[in-house]
Amino acid sequence: MRSLLCVPASQPKMVEKALTLDCDQIILDLEDSVTPADKVAARAYLKDFLSKVESKKKISLRVNELSSTFAKADIDLICGFNPQPLSSVILPKIHSLEDVKSWAAKLPANMQLEVQIESAMGLINAPQIASHPQVISLAFGPADFMASAGMPSSNPGTPWAEAANALQWPLMQVVIAAHAHAKTAYDGPYFQITDDAGLSSSARTARALGVDGKWVIHPNQIALVNEAFTPSPAEIAHAKEIIAAFNASSGATNLDGLMIDEASKKVAERLLERAAQIHN
């Protein structure tokens, strides 16, 4: 998984266009990007759209926060499908394992859940949240997290220059919590839509921290995120060299001045697995 395109469910043309784009997952959003006045119409559209859609893409639905007045209608929509067209449900603003359990009890049995970590409490409880058997991923929500943590910002999800790298630490905690339970970790969106250099830098930093993919909020962001999260031919070739060198040795060995050991082999194997998943 590389790019996850979040599309407002209130904009049918954007939803249908998403099916033609090179994103790996489509997130149909009923939460923040849909105004309260538009939520009823958006659900009605999704009921029709999802009952007819045929796509090989993973399609998920982001619901409204469970404590909101809109959550019950979202639950009714999901539970009303037979067969179930959704690959997963995206749960926003999850603060604890109990929040996940509450959602799981209300949704179809064995529905895959993807959790957004968007608060200080959610970050503290991320390892427990990731332990739930129906949770398949954690995603970091930078803008809401900054508000929860009291971090000032002139742009959504962007710390002041004095603490430019401040979000790397909570993002890394999300990665650790997710991977400790063999779950996937995603970075949230980059909100400056026309800043290609900033987006590429953000995506590459996320990948360097062990993140598996990144949310995007505009079609123009897909290619740059896909590029950042796709192992390059040089990376693939180097990984194969590492594995071959280790397999030809009786233990730790030297490859062009670099010590190669079992840990090096595991990192290389993981990169090749990722490349194979992307190209399949």
The type of residue at 94 is I
User: 177-205: b or e for each residue (b if 16 or more CB lie within 10 Å)?
Assistant: bbbebebbbbbbbbbbeeeeeebbebbeb
Contacts of 110 (CB under 8 A, 6+ apart): 134
The type of residue at 27 is I
Residue 204 labelled as part of a binding site: no
Can you read off the two tokens belonging to residue 227?
Answer: 């590029």
Can you read off the two tokens belonging to residue 9?
Answer: 């469910």
Residue 144 labelled as part of a binding site: yes
Residue 158 Cα to chain centre, angstroms: 18
Question: CB–CB of 272/238 below 8 Å?
Answer: no
Binding residues: 62, 118, 144
Binding residues for Mg(2+): 118, 144
Binding residues for substrate: 62, 118
